[in-house]
Amino acid sequence: MSRVETRSLAPEAEGAAEARPLGVIASVAPGRVIAALSASFAQEEGVTIGTLLRIDGEPAAVAVVTGIEAPAADIDAEAFDVVLAEAELVGRIGAGGLVESRIHCPTVGVRTSRLDTAAALAAREAGLRLAVPIGEADGPFSIEADRILSEGVSIVGPDLASARAMAVTVRSLLKRGFPARLVLVDPDNLFTRSFGNAASIVDASAGFIAPGLLTADELADCLEAVGDPLSREDLRLLKAVMRGQGGTLRDLIGDLEREREQGAPGTGAACASVVRRLRAAREDARLAPVFGEDADHLSPDDLLQRLFRLPDGSPPMAVCQLGGCEAALQPVLTRIILRLSRTLARSTEGRIPVLMAVHGADRLLGEDDDTEPSGSFAVLSAGREPLIAGVTLYHAAAKVRDDAVAAQLKQLDGADLLAFDWELPWPQALTLTPLPESAQPRPLTTAAGERDVHALIDAARSAFAATS
């Protein structure tokens, strides 16, 4: 698989005043420079150890002052026209003023000024929010963990090209210990072996969710995916009967029949119509993910374990394969996963963040679906169009044949074998870098820790039912 490269773009600053030159570069050594600065200018600009300097060039270099010459005690400071500052090269200024960590060595004699850190930070923030073309750049693009969960990410490109980029992205997150539950919706069964032992494969076609855990609208969408729309009376009856208590298809039919016996006059026809549709759904193989016998007894606990790897967290992600499901049912199942993912993050007050990855998002989710990131929940989408107004990656055409890309997606190289800590310390810190020992979450080995885990799981379980 060829390497995916990216480039970040940021808008050119408009109307920004050019920084006042402080002096020139007098000497250059590997990784370091010596700048000859105007003493009065340096004093007015407050140059000291730690000050960031901008050094002219194509591209401009960035250096941090590590030492500065001061006049001796017996010398008149006002007559001291030039000070020498030693600085370490730490980066460069790329397109649109975006500071990059790649070092650029300047030439002797070029001007230097104090770096406008506020403008640099603003340019960086703007750059990370803009579209990032992949495949035509000179360096890798990285996305901070908190930006993923606070803004979401869209990968745009042809199906196999965007799948390839999604596999690379998710594998990178796994290796870095991304602090969220990961669930990937795979409508074409492309990712069976993309993540090795780091992923549990969930075949939705063999039974996905019990009908009693659906909302009335979701149940109606399932029926309508392969049949005629329900009447207004049928849908109103479903909403009256389905109270979020879970249960099997038989339980739901029993509730409907009791409603026919005890309900208001005129409900009999609607009850008979809905019961007839549900009994037909039981025999329809296309609706087996929801109405089949294997789905009947799936509880909220089963959903937590299968989709979100809770409470044990082993393995750390789930790949929910929809390839064996009816095409018209796939968007409905995706919206159900979306609701469950958002509910888990919300019901645990963000202590169990969730990242939902969706390949083929443009055919599975629409503008009316709630994909807005919250800081503890976000969507990583891949498709031909961006799903959200967050970070967008535009993927160039694959440089190898499509069949070769598909084959590579189902392999995991030995160098990419993943190792994880299977425990789930809550709350997990939102960082990709190791925390100092004093800040590490304690393992859940105490009775209080176990109660905390159970409380979180109970909250999620109750919320699943409450949103039904």
34-48, 393-407, 413-427: least confidently modelled range: 413-427
- Give the E-state strand segments of 293-422 in sequence order: 317-321, 354-359, 377-383, 391-395
Average pLDDT of the chain, as a whole number = 75
Per-residue pLDDT at 415 exceeds 50: no
What number of other Cβ atoms are within 10 A of residue 325's Cβ? Answer: 23
User: What pLDDT does 34 receive?
Assistant: 94
Per-residue pLDDT at 421 exceeds 80: no
Between 245 and 346, residue with greater pLDDT: 346
Q: Is the pTM of this model over 0.75?
A: no
Which of 30, 33, 21 is CA-nearest to residue 62? 33
User: What pLDDT does 125 receive?
Assistant: 59
The 10s digit of each residue's pLDDT in 300-309 is 888 888 998 8
User: What pLDDT does 144 receive?
Assistant: 64
User: What pLDDT does 265 receive?
Assistant: 65
Mean pLDDT (whole number) for 74-83:
64
Per-residue pLDDT at 323 exceeds 50: yes
- Confidence bin at 338 (pLDDT 50/70/90): very high
Between 202 and 463, residue with greater pLDDT: 202
Residue 179, both tokens: 């602090």
- Confidence bin at 176 (pLDDT 50/70/90): low
Which of 190, 156, 164 is CA-nearest to residue 320? 190
Between 208 and 166, residue with greater pLDDT: 208
- Confidence bin at 288 (pLDDT 50/70/90): very high
Query: Which residues, 6 or more positions from 313, have their beta carbon under 8 angstroms from its beta carbon?
Result: 422, 423, 424
Per-residue pLDDT at 87 exceeds 90: yes
Termini Cα distance of the chain: 43
User: What pLDDT does 287 receive?
Assistant: 94
Between 266 and 106, residue with greater pLDDT: 106
- Confidence bin at 202 (pLDDT 50/70/90): very high
- Confidence bin at 257 (pLDDT 50/70/90): confident
Per-residue pLDDT at 147 exceeds 80: no
Q: Which residue has the tokens 């379980």?
A: 461
Phi, psi of 193 (to 5 degrees): -120, 15
Which of 369, 334, 337 is CA-nearest to residue 354? 337
What distance in Å separates the CA atoms of residue 23 and residue 224, rounded to the nearest whole number? 73
User: What pLDDT does 146 receive?
Assistant: 66
Cα dihedral 417/420/395/370 (nearest 10): 150
Q: Is 195 helix (H, G, I), strand (E, B) or coil?
A: coil
DSSP string, 270-284: HHHHHHHHHHHHHH-
Between 26 and 119, residue with greater pLDDT: 26
The 10s digit of each residue's pLDDT in 434-450 is 334 443 334 444 444 44
User: What pLDDT does 149 receive?
Assistant: 83
What distance in Å separates the CA atoms of residue 37 and residue 48, rounded to the nearest whole number? 12
C-alpha of 192 from chain center? 20
Domains of the chain in start order, with CATH, are 21-121 (2.40.30), 145-206+298-466 (3.40.50), 211-295 (no CATH)
Q: Give CA separation, 326 vs 188, 204, 289, 335, 356, in Å.
A: 11, 11, 10, 15, 21
Per-residue pLDDT at 385 exceeds 70: yes
Cα dihedral 269/270/276/282 (nearest 10): -160
Q: Which residue has the tokens 């770096």?
A: 115
